[in-house]
A and B are shown apart, each in its own frame.
Chain A
Amino acid sequence: MSAAEPIISCRNVWKLFGQKPESFVASAKGKSFEEIRRAGYIAAVRDVSIEVGRGELLVVMGLSGSGKSTLVRCMSRLIDITDGEIIVDGQNLMSLSEKELIGLRRRKMGMVFQSFGLLPNRNVLDNVAFPLEMRGQDRHDRRERALEVIKLVGLEGREEYFPRELSGGQQQRVGIARSLAIEPDIWFLDEPFSALDPLIRREMQDEFLRLRGMLGKTIVFITHDFDEALRLADRIAIMKDGAVEQCDTPDKIVLKPATEYVRKFTEDVEKSRVVHARGLAQPINGHAVEGPAVPANATVLQLARQLVNERREYLPVADAGGKLVGAMNRQEALDILLGSA
Chain B
Amino acid sequence: MSDTTVPVIRAVPERALPGGAAILLAVALALAVARPVLPELLVRVPDWAIPPYQDWMQALFDFIKDDLGLIHVTRAISAILEWFLDVTANLLYGKNRWPYLGPLPWTAVAAVAAVVGYAVGRWRMALLAGGTFAWIALIGQWDLAMQTLSVIAVAAPTAFMVGLILGILAWKFPRFEAALLPILAVLQTLPFFTYLLPAVIFFKVGPTAGCVATVVYAIPPMVLMTALGLKKVASEVIEAGHMSGSTRWQMLRHVYLPSARTEILVGVNQVIMLSLAMVVLTAFIGMPGLGAKLLSLMNSLKLGRSFEIGVTIVLIAVTLDRISKAWVVKQPVHFERGTPWWERNRLLLIALGAFVGCILIAQFVPLANEIDRKHELSMGSEIDTVIRAVLANETIDAATAWLRGFLTVSVLIPFRDAVLWLPSLSVIFILAAAGYAVGGPRSALLAGGFFAIVALTGWWDRAMITLYTVLSAVVIAAAVGLPLGMLAARRKKWAQPVLLICDTAQTFPSFIYLIPAIMLFGVNDVSVIFAIFIFATVPLMRYTIEGIRAVPEELLEAADMSGATRSQKLWKVQIPFALPTMAIGFNQAIMFAFFMVIIAAFIGTQDLGQELQRTLAGNQLGKNFVLGMCVALMALTFDHIIMRWSATRRKVLGV
Chain B window 607-647, contacts with chain A (Cβ cutoff 8 Å), 1 for yes, 0 for no: 00000000000000000000000000000000000000000
Residues 111-145 (chain A) with a chain B CB within 8 angstroms? 111, 113-123, 130-131, 133-135
Question: Which of these, A78, A103, A157, A164, contacts B243 with CB under 8 Å?
Answer: A78
- Residue contact B244 to A134, C-beta cutoff 8 Å: yes
Name the A residues within 8 Å of B337 (CB-CB). 157, 159-160
How long is the Cα–Cα vector from A334 to B332 in the complex, in angstroms?
60
The distance from the CB of B391 to the nearest CB of chain A, in whole angstroms, is 54
Decide if A161 is an interface residue (CB 8 Å cutoff): yes
- Residue contact B234 to A78, C-beta cutoff 8 Å: no
How long is the Cα–Cα vector from A216 to B326 in the complex, in angstroms?
48
Q: A160-B336, A164-B331 are in contact. Are A105 and B242 (CB under 8 A)?
A: yes
The distance from the CB of B257 to the nearest CB of chain A, in whole angstroms, is 9
Residue of A nearest to B248 (CB): A98
Chain B window 317-354, contacts with chain A (Cβ cutoff 8 Å), 1 for yes, 0 for no: 00000000000000111111100000000000000000
- Residue contact B236 to A116, C-beta cutoff 8 Å: yes
- Residue contact A160 to B246, C-beta cutoff 8 Å: no
- Residue contact A161 to B334, C-beta cutoff 8 Å: yes
Name the B residues within 8 Å of A76 (CB-CB). 243
Q: A121-B261, A159-B337 are in contact. Are A134 and B246 (CB under 8 A)?
A: yes
Chain A window 167-187, contacts with chain B (Cβ cutoff 8 Å), 1 for yes, 0 for no: 000000001001100100000
Decide if B254 is an interface residue (CB 8 Å cutoff): yes
Question: Which of these, A64, A103, A116, A123, contacts B334 with CB under 8 Å?
Answer: A123
Residue of B nearest to A175 (CB): B240
The distance from the CB of A12 to the nearest CB of chain B, in whole angstroms, is 25
The distance from the CB of A135 to the nearest CB of chain B, in whole angstroms, is 6
Q: A116-B236, A117-B236, A121-B261 are in contact. Are A162 and B331 (CB under 8 A)?
A: yes
- Residue contact B334 to A178, C-beta cutoff 8 Å: no
The distance from the CB of B515 to the nearest CB of chain A, in whole angstroms, is 42
Question: Which of these, B234, B246, B258, B261, contacts A117 with CB under 8 Å?
Answer: B234
Q: A119-B259, A161-B334, A162-B334 are in contact. Are A134 and B245 (CB under 8 A)?
A: yes
How long is the Cα–Cα vector from A182 to B247 in the complex, in angstroms?
16
- Residue contact B246 to A179, C-beta cutoff 8 Å: no
Name the A residues within 8 Å of B234 (CB-CB). 115, 117
How long is the Cα–Cα vector from A121 to B332 in the complex, in angstroms?
7
Name the A residues within 8 Å of B239 (CB-CB). 73, 78, 111, 113, 117
Q: A116-B236, A120-B258 are in contact. Are A111 and B331 (CB under 8 A)?
A: no
- Residue contact A119 to B254, C-beta cutoff 8 Å: yes
Decide if B561 is an interface residue (CB 8 Å cutoff): no
Decide if B400 is an interface residue (CB 8 Å cutoff): no
- Residue contact B334 to A165, C-beta cutoff 8 Å: yes
Residue of B nearest to A64 (CB): B1
How long is the Cα–Cα vector from A170 to B243 in the complex, in angstroms?
20
- Residue contact A117 to B245, C-beta cutoff 8 Å: no
- Residue contact B244 to A178, C-beta cutoff 8 Å: yes
How long is the Cα–Cα vector from A165 to B333 in the complex, in angstroms?
8
Q: A178-B244, A179-B243 are in contact. Are A115 and B236 (CB under 8 A)?
A: yes
The distance from the CB of B301 to the nearest CB of chain A, in whole angstroms, is 53
Q: A134-B246, A134-B250 are in contact. Are A111 and B240 (CB under 8 A)?
A: yes
Most buried by A among B234, B240, B250: B240
Name the A residues within 8 Å of B336 (CB-CB). 160
- Residue contact A130 to B331, C-beta cutoff 8 Å: no
How long is the Cα–Cα vector from A78 to B246 in the complex, in angstroms?
12
Residues 169-214 (chain A) with a chain B CB within 8 angstroms? 175, 178-179, 182, 188
- Residue contact A105 to B259, C-beta cutoff 8 Å: no
Name the A residues within 8 Å of B250 (CB-CB). 134
How long is the Cα–Cα vector from A162 to B334 in the complex, in angstroms?
7
How long is the Cα–Cα vector from A175 to B236 in the complex, in angstroms?
11
Question: Which of these, B1, B243, B255, B261, contacts A110 with CB under 8 Å?
Answer: B243
Residue of B nearest to A132 (CB): B244
Question: Which of these, B245, B254, B333, contacts A105 with CB under 8 Å?
Answer: B245
Residue of B nearest to A105 (CB): B245
The distance from the CB of B333 to the nearest CB of chain A, in whole angstroms, is 7
Q: A119-B255, A162-B333 are in contact. Are A105 and B244 (CB under 8 A)?
A: yes
Chain B window 384-406, contacts with chain A (Cβ cutoff 8 Å), 1 for yes, 0 for no: 00000000000000000000000
How long is the Cα–Cα vector from A133 to B1 in the complex, in angstroms?
35
Decide if A106 is an interface residue (CB 8 Å cutoff): yes
Decide if B237 is an interface residue (CB 8 Å cutoff): yes
Residue of A nearest to B236 (CB): A117
Decide if A102 is an interface residue (CB 8 Å cutoff): yes
Residue of A nearest to B335 (CB): A160
Decide if A296 is an interface residue (CB 8 Å cutoff): no
The distance from the CB of A301 to the nearest CB of chain B, in whole angstroms, is 32
How long is the Cα–Cα vector from A133 to B253 in the complex, in angstroms?
13
- Residue contact A103 to B245, C-beta cutoff 8 Å: yes
- Residue contact B247 to A117, C-beta cutoff 8 Å: no
Residue of B nearest to A130 (CB): B244
Decide if A57 is an interface residue (CB 8 Å cutoff): no
Residues 286-334 (chain B) with a chain A CB within 8 angstroms? 331-334
The distance from the CB of B338 to the nearest CB of chain A, in whole angstroms, is 10
Name the B residues within 8 Å of A161 (CB-CB). 334
Name the A residues within 8 Å of B245 (CB-CB). 102-103, 105-106, 131, 134-135, 182
The distance from the CB of B265 to the nearest CB of chain A, in whole angstroms, is 12
Residue of B nearest to A160 (CB): B334
- Residue contact A131 to B244, C-beta cutoff 8 Å: yes
Most buried by B among A102, A161, A182: A102
Question: Which of these, B1, B240, B246, B332, contacts A118 with CB under 8 Å?
Answer: B240
How long is the Cα–Cα vector from A118 to B250 in the complex, in angstroms?
16
Decide if A109 is an interface residue (CB 8 Å cutoff): yes
Name the B residues within 8 Å of A122 (CB-CB). 258
Residue of B nearest to A164 (CB): B331
How long is the Cα–Cα vector from A188 to B236 in the complex, in angstroms?
13
9 interchain residue pairs of minimum CB distance: A106-B245, A117-B240, A117-B236, A131-B244, A160-B334, A105-B245, A121-B258, A111-B243, A113-B236
A residues neighboring B (CB under 8 Å): 64, 73, 76, 78, 102-103, 105-106, 109-111, 113-123, 130-131, 133-135, 157, 159-162, 164-165, 175, 178-179, 182, 188
Task: Please list 25 pairs of residues, one from A and one from B, whose beta carbons are closer than 8 Å in the complex, sorted by A's number.
Answer: A64-B1, A78-B242, A78-B243, A102-B245, A103-B245, A105-B245, A106-B244, A111-B243, A114-B236, A116-B236, A118-B237, A118-B240, A119-B255, A120-B261, A121-B261, A131-B243, A134-B250, A160-B334, A160-B335, A160-B336, A160-B337, A161-B334, A162-B331, A162-B334, A165-B333
B residues neighboring A (CB under 8 Å): 1, 234, 236-237, 239-240, 242-247, 250, 254-255, 258-259, 261, 331-337
Contacts A110-B243, A162-B331 known; 19 new A-B pairs at CB < 8 A: A64-B1, A73-B239, A78-B243, A102-B245, A105-B242, A111-B240, A116-B236, A117-B236, A118-B237, A121-B261, A131-B245, A134-B244, A134-B250, A134-B254, A160-B335, A160-B337, A161-B334, A179-B243, A188-B243
